[in-house]
Amino acid sequence: MKLSKRVLALAESETLAVTAKAAAMRAAGIDVISFGAGEPDFDTPENVKEAAIKALREGQTKYPKPAAGIPAARQAVCTKLERENGLTYTPNQVIITTGGKMACTMVVHALINPGDEVIIPVPYWVSYPEFVRLAGGKPVFVRGDEERDFKITPEQLAAAITPRTRMLIFNSPSNPGGFTYTPDEVRALAAVTAGKDIAVLADEIYDRLVYGDQRPLSFAACSPEAYAQTLTLNGGSKTYAMTGWRVGYVAAPEPVIKALSKLQSQGTSGVCTFVQYGLIEALTGPQDEVERMRQAFAQRGAHIHQRLTAMPGVTCCPPTGAFYVFPNVSGTYARLGVTTSGEFTAKVLEETGVAVVPGGAFGSDQHVRLSFACGMEQIDEGMNRLEKLLKGAAATSRSAPPAEPASARR
């Protein structure tokens, strides 16, 4: 069969590819430490599981009605957004989606026409550019300065806007960077898009996972103009360890939600009904487990950052949100005999059994991404192996004789 051009041009998700490779190596009996997928090692809180089980036992196994989400789930999203984000929505401004990834792709397909430009700050989540290309749009990349923790400036954003710009994809806390925009920084970017025909897809799926003195601000909360042009995306996967449940949501102006609902009605028919009852409990029930997980992630993030920055040739911005670090490992390339992040990750996996994701997949080939959504014991074992490799390479480099002059080789 002849495959379509769009699927042939589609890149595979590097994060899932690395995770799959690590799983295959484990199945073959190889001892692998994986820092690949952004999947919490915690179980879904018991009260959330019990709510879904109760719904199952009560017969909540039919098609969701309506496809945009059962009324109670949409109201639970409204309650969450008002309580935690200072945003007021009605249920008709909310859609429950089959995970955050499906939410992203539906938003792009609902708003982007062929040739439209979508601004994507670098580093970016691997799927953003692919969603845009599938819709026929053109990704426009704006590179954040590593000295500023990769965060783009209002001046950079303004310079990237053209008459064809139709969307900004804004992700804070960041995957893969682990950084968080301050409220003042968010307001400054919102001031640039205000009054322009530009939609903002605000991916806030890590909004509860912030550390230190970070206080995130929702893009839509910046001003009435920002509220009107923003689609706020979130879900249960990261905050509530519900990755396998595949449930997310979007809050936006009602006409946009109606368009997304049409797409969903033709695509998935909506989110599994009893899963929506689990989401209701997650958003409106006790939040103690969320805080316990957040504190654990904070401790892990500080620890892995300390370990990485003690290694030769590695620099790394401290993580302030999400559960990722994005170290610059280009200082090790020459000693390891590699030239790209892909070659670096392949060498590390082959020689140490440690799986990390190449930064090229996120738009920055000097970096790699490590998820610390895993136990402290696993983190330390992985860091021990990586440190041994890098220190060994550094020692070999120092002890190597100086290169013979070209004149002597002739």
51 found inside a domain = no
- Tell me which H or E stretch contains 139: strand 138-143
Q: Domain of 213: which CATH number? A: 3.40.640.10
Last residue of a domain, one of 284, 307, 333: 284
Domain count, the chain: 2
Same domain, 280 and 293: no
pLDDT at position 397, please?
A: 59
The whole domain housing 36 covers: 5-43+289-396
Same domain, 223 and 306: no
Q: What are phi and psi of 246, to 5 degrees?
A: 55, 65
What average pLDDT values come out for the chain (410 residues) when binned by 10 residues? 86 72 81 90 97 98 96 98 98 97 97 98 96 97 96 98 98 98 98 97 98 95 98 98 97 98 95 98 98 98 98 97 98 96 93 95 97 96 97 69 43
Same domain, 197 and 180: yes
Last residue of a domain, one of 251, 284, 317: 284
Q: What's the CA gap between 122 and 143, in Å, rounded? A: 5
409 found inside a domain = no
Q: Domain of 319: which CATH number? A: 3.90.1150.10
Residues in Cβ contact with 313 at an 8 Å cutoff, skipping those fewer than 6 apart: 329, 330, 331, 332, 335, 390, 394
Same domain, 339 and 367: yes
pLDDT at position 70, please?
A: 98
Residues in Cβ contact with 175 at an 8 Å cutoff, skipping those fewer than 6 apart: 38, 125, 206, 322, 324
Same domain, 28 and 162: no
pLDDT at position 396, please?
A: 67
408 found inside a domain = no
pLDDT at position 401, please?
A: 55
